[in-house]
């Protein structure tokens, strides 16, 4: 890991967040400065991504809960609800998303 990447994280957004990131930041992945560890929730807030638009996050290729702690040098991706097929089970979403507002249960409509 280079000295530079020790102080930054690499962030991606999938589904509609892909277009939103490109519009807001001009590119994907977004390389963000990060000196201290940060939770997924805090990072989402920093990037102005509503919690209910994230089912799980990926950190270094592993599916994690939203409050997972991200460290400098990590590769992060925000995944909104919308992953099809059985892959949400196969990739381990169900063990990580149960306390999440966007846990893929049927959303209550206003």
Partner 1 sequence: MNKFIRIDMTAMKVTTEEVPEKYAGLGGRALTSNFVANEVKPTCHALGKNNKIIFAPGLLSGTAAPNSGRISVGAKSPLTGGIKESNAGGTFSQKMAKMGIKALVIEGMPADDKYHIIKIDMNGVTIEDAPAEIIGGCGNYKAIEVLSAKYGEKVGIALAGPAGEHRLPSANISFKDPEGNMRSAGRGGLGAVLGSKKVKALVIDETGAVAVPIADPEKFRAASKVFAKALLDHPVAGKGLAAYGTDVLVNILNEAGGLPAKNFTAGRIDHNDNISGETMNATITERGGEGKVSHGCHAGCIIRCSQWYTDKQGKYITSGFEYETIWGLGADAGIKDLDDIAYIDREMDDIGIDSIETAVAVACAMEGGLLPWGDGKAVLEAVKGIAVPTPLGRIIGSGTAVVGKVCGLFRVPVVKDQAIPAYDPRPVKGIGLTYATTPMGADHTAGYCISGNILKVGADIDPLKKDGQIEYSRAMQIGTASVDSTGMCLFVYFGIADNPGGYQALIDMINSQYGISLTATDVDKLGESVLKVERAFNKAAGFTNAHDRLPEFFEYEPCPPHNVVWDFTPEEIDEVYNF
Please tell me whether residue 102 binds partner 1 under the rule CB under 8 A.
yes
The window from 1-9, 37-45, 64-72, 93-101 that contacts partner 1 (CB under 8 A) reads 93-101
Residue 81: other Cβ atoms inside 10 A: 20
Q: What is the DSSP string of 79-96?
A: E-S---TTHHHHTTGGGT
> CB neighbours of 73 closer than 8 A, spacing ≥ 6?
1, 5, 6, 8, 9
Instruction: Return the number of the residue (29 or 72) whose C-beta is nearest partner 1.
Output: 29
Please tell me whether residue 109 binds partner 1 under the rule CB under 8 A.
yes
Please tell me whether residue 83 binds partner 1 under the rule CB under 8 A.
yes
Instruction: Read off the tokens for 11.
Output: 């962030």
| Binding interface with partner 1 (CB under 8 A) | 12, 14-16, 18-19, 28, 58, 61-63, 77, 79-87, 89-92, 94-95, 98, 102, 104-107, 109
């Amino acid at each position: 890991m280079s000295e530079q990447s020790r102080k930054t994280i690499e962030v991606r957004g999938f589904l509609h967040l892909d277009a939103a990131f490109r519009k807001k930041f001009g590119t994907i992945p977004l390389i963000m400065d990060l000196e201290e560890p940060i939770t997924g929730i805090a990072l989402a807030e920093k990037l102005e991504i509503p919690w209910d638009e994230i089912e799980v996050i990926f950190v270094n290729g592993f599916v994690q809960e939203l409050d997972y702690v991200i460290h400098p040098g990590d590769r992060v991706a925000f995944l909104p609800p919308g992953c099809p097929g059985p892959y949400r089970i196969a990739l381990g979403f169900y063990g990580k998303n149960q306390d999440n507002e966007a846990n893929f249960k049927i959303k209550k409509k206003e």
